[in-house]
Amino acid sequence: MLRSASGAFINVVRKSLVPASRVSSVIPARWSHDGPVESDEEFDARYEAFFNRKDIDGWEVRKGMNDLCGMDLVPDPKIIKAAMHACRRVNDYALAIRFLEACKDKCGPRVGEIYPYIIQEIKPTLTELGIETPEEIGYDKPELALKNVFDM
């Protein structure tokens, strides 16, 4: 652990003292523990390509979405559009709605700023595929109530 910590420190020092030419295009936006550094654009492109695979199946779509929702980020509208197309390919409408709800939840306290932007960006795709937003379906407010298991 100490060796890797010093490695990261030396990396930071090196980057700040000697701006190496090779790092000009790659902005280290996400540091994993000594792993390879990927820029935001590369990350977005990777996930977009993943969801755009023609042969993707329901299992992979769900795994990709769960992984994405586990990360400390709000999925880019590009990725969400690709995910919507993936849902269409696997013929699962509920999946699309669930993913949109999850993306809204990922916005956290800034949902008022981020979520309208996302919807604005993906609206053409939603209209093209015939997917409603959670608000249009009525799932932005609770519809049904479930009895608490501890009160039974």
Partner 1 sequence: MANLLLRRALLDAVRVPIGARASSELAKVGNREWVGYGFNGQPNYVDRPDFPLPAVRFRADTPDIKVLREKEKGDWRKLTLEEKKALYRASFCQTFAEFQAPTGEWKGAVGWALCIASLSVWIYMAMKLFVYSPLPASFDDEHQKAQLKRMLDLKVNPVDGLSSKWDYENNRWK
Positions touching partner 1 (CB under 8 A) are 57-59, 62-63, 65-66, 69-70, 88, 91-95, 97-99, 101-102, 104-105, 129-132, 134, 137-146, 148
Cβ distance to partner 1 smaller for residue 34 or 128: 128
Cβ distance to partner 1 smaller for residue 48 or 100: 100
CB of 149 to partner 1, least distance (A): 12
Cα-based distances in Å from 100 to 34, 37, 65, 74, 136: 33, 28, 10, 11, 12
CB of 26 to partner 1, least distance (A): 29
Distance between the two ends of the chain, CA-based, in angstroms?
Answer: 49
Residues 6+ apart with CB under 8 A from 114: 74, 107
* Residue 81 CB-density burial (10 A; 0-12 exposed, 13-18 middle, 19+ buried): buried
Cβ distance to partner 1 smaller for residue 30 or 134: 134
CB of 56 to partner 1, least distance (A): 12
Cβ distance to partner 1 smaller for residue 102 or 114: 102
Handedness of CA 88, 93, 97, 102 (dihedral sign): negative
